Amino acid sequence: MEQCCLLMKIKVVEINNSEYPCLLRQINNPPKKLYCKGKWDVDIFRNCLAVGGSRQMTTYGRRVTDELVSKIASVGITIVSGFMYGVDAQAHKAALLSGGKTIAVMPCGIDLIHPGYQKDIYEEIIAKGGLIISEIEGGSLPAPWTYPRRNRIIAGLSRATLVVEAGLKSGSLITAGLAKKFGRKLFAVPGPLTSSLSQGSLQLIKRGADMVTGVNDILADYGLVSPEYPANYFSYSGLNKLEQSIVEGLAQEPKEIDALSRLVNVSTSELGATISLMQLRGMVSEEKGKYYVNF
């Protein structure tokens, strides 16, 4: 369901305007006009990272997106994405949750929220200093051709593009191809060989994209490497022996409590009590009967 926001003030920035984003002006066939909702501030465009991935996001994709984007946005890098459900929406949410800025580039008219059920994310982006952008005025519905045109803006605004999780026919591969065409940096997150949603990402790595193994792989490109995020950021400190065993076991792969009990060699009752405390501390999550460590 689509929703209209006709009453919100819209800013129009033309390509010959000094406020027009510099990196976007450099691409082939840049938009002649940008329609915008939110507080337009040229500083939001200084350090942008495009983030894309599958609409059928897996638990792995969600956790990686949350981990990477929250840290990247928290140091002042603006997250740019396409607002669709899946990795796009998760990237916007992770940026907002970390107190960072995010830009949603829409494939429809600026007066339309698409998809409409993400109205809360849309409004939060604006309320927290982010932007909604489209090159299309009015309430025009998206069409097959508007998505790749939208993707060129996402890539064009950003000095680098991160693909978290993508199948071989994922639209995020279009964004990745455009980023490469524009001479921008391309990052991809590796995934399981057995997952169809990793095949596009693995193909990008095979063809020269930088493989992401930690947040500093990306921050280094922005001159913002932080000692707070070591190469192996999948770790915790201050754990007791059982907690450490649980983290190490779940880091290998998510597990049901019976399998985890056998691995760490404690009863399910003792394990359950410890895991419950770890959940309260935000270290472990449960989904569909399996436990995941929150990196």
Task: Give the count of beta carbons closer than 10 Å to the beta carbon of residue 39.
Answer: 12
Name the band, by pLDDT with cuts 50, 70 and 90, for residue 7. low
The yes-or-no verdict on residue 110 having pLDDT over 60 is yes
For residue 167, CA distances in Å to 28, 52, 62, 64, 273 come to 27, 12, 15, 16, 38
Tell me the average pLDDT across 150-159: 98
Confidence of residue 293 (pLDDT cuts 50, 70, 90): confident
Q: Which two tokens stand for residue 44?
A: 């939001």
Compute the average pLDDT of residues 239-243.
Answer: 88
- For residue 226, the model assigns a pLDDT of 65
Domain ranges (residues) in the chain: 3-222, 241-293
Residue 230 scores a pLDDT above 70? no
Class of domain 3-222: alpha beta
Least confident of 42-46, 106-110, 181-185, 273-277: 273-277
pLDDT band at 248 (very low <50, low <70, confident <90, very high): confident
Burial of 285 (0-12, 13-18, 19+ CB in 10 A): middle
Show the beta-strand stretches assigned E in 117-236. Answer: 131-134, 160-163, 185-188, 210-211
* 3 state SS of 209: coil
**Architecture of the structural domain at 241-293:** Orthogonal Bundle (1.10)
Question: Would you say 96 and 65 are in contact if contact means Cβ atoms under 8 Å apart?
Answer: no
